[in-house]
């Protein structure tokens, strides 16, 4: 059905899309979002043409992928999925616009970027249960205005967890001779964090 859409004048498919100002990484994110939305819209139409039980499983699989790709939509994610799945007349322009700025996306900040390292990401991790209290405290020390609701990328989560593990190890070079954590030692570790390397978001 992809080809059918591409040949449909009403769908108005365009192979070339405007490049993002944020570079190739952002382009790849938007391309992946577009693919997911298109697949949802196609499976929705096919399921209405053939009400076979197999489409119940297909619908759930599409929902799982959509939910991961558009996790920034929060409580509105399911409504957005249903709207695309039930859409009998999707268009290239509408899907491209949704891929760039998903409907209902938090307008208070760029939910397509990690608030810590500011690199473009497909999705942010807002699951507080994945983060230790020590890592959360270390992030807030480094970024006082940050909250778990803002999320963070998987790389930053791993790096901060690694940092608190090192702080907790008495044999780590970040500790002084008496076993206490040295300011210089912690600073050296913090310099490995992505926001420090990119020159964004660090504090003195």
Q: Output the tens digit of pLDDT for each of the chain's 204 residues.
A: 899 989 999 989 988 776 665 667 778 888 899 999 999 999 999 988 887 888 888 899 999 999 999 888 888 899 999 999 999 999 999 998 888 888 544 434 445 678 888 777 767 776 666 788 888 888 888 888 788 877 888 888 888 888 877 776 545 444 445 544 444 444 555 555 544 444 433 333
Both structure tokens of 26: 């952002």
Give CA angle at 28 (23, 30), nearest 5°. Answer: 95
Query: What Cα–Cα distance (Å) separates residue 134 from each residue in 148, 158, 168, 187, 189?
Result: 13, 13, 10, 17, 15
Which distant-in-sequence residues (6+ apart) come within 8 Å of 201 by Cβ? 115, 116, 117, 118, 142, 143, 195
Q: What's this model's pTM, rounded to 2 decimal places?
A: 0.54
Alpha-carbon span 49 to 77, nearest angstrom: 25
Let me know how long the chain is. Answer: 204
């Amino acid at each position: 059905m992809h080809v059918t859409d591409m040949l449909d004048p009403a769908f108005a498919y365009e192979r070339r899309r405007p490049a993002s100002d944020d570079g190739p990484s952002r382009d790849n994110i938007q391309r992946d979002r577009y693919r997911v939305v298109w697949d949802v819209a196609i499976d929705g139409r096919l399921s209405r043409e053939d009400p076979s039980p197999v489409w119940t499983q297909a619908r759930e699989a599409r929902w799982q992928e959509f939910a991961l790709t558009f996790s920034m939509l929060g409580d509105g994610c399911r409504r957005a999925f249903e709207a695309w799945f039930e859409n009998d007349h999707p268009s290239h322009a509408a899907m491209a616009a949704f891929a760039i700025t998903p409907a209902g996306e938090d307008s208070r900040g760029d939910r397509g970027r990690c608030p810590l390292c500011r690199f473009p990401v497909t999705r942010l991790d807002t699951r507080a249960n994945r983060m230790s209290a020590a890592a959360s405290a270390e992030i807030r020390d480094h970024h006082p205005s940050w909250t778990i609701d803002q999320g963070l990328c998987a790389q930053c989560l791993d790096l901060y967890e690694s940092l608190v593990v090192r702080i907790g190890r008495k044999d780590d070079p970040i500790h002084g001779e008496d076993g206490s954590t040295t300011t210089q030692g912690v600073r050296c570790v913090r310099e490995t964090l992505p926001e420090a390397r990119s020159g964004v978001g660090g504090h003195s």
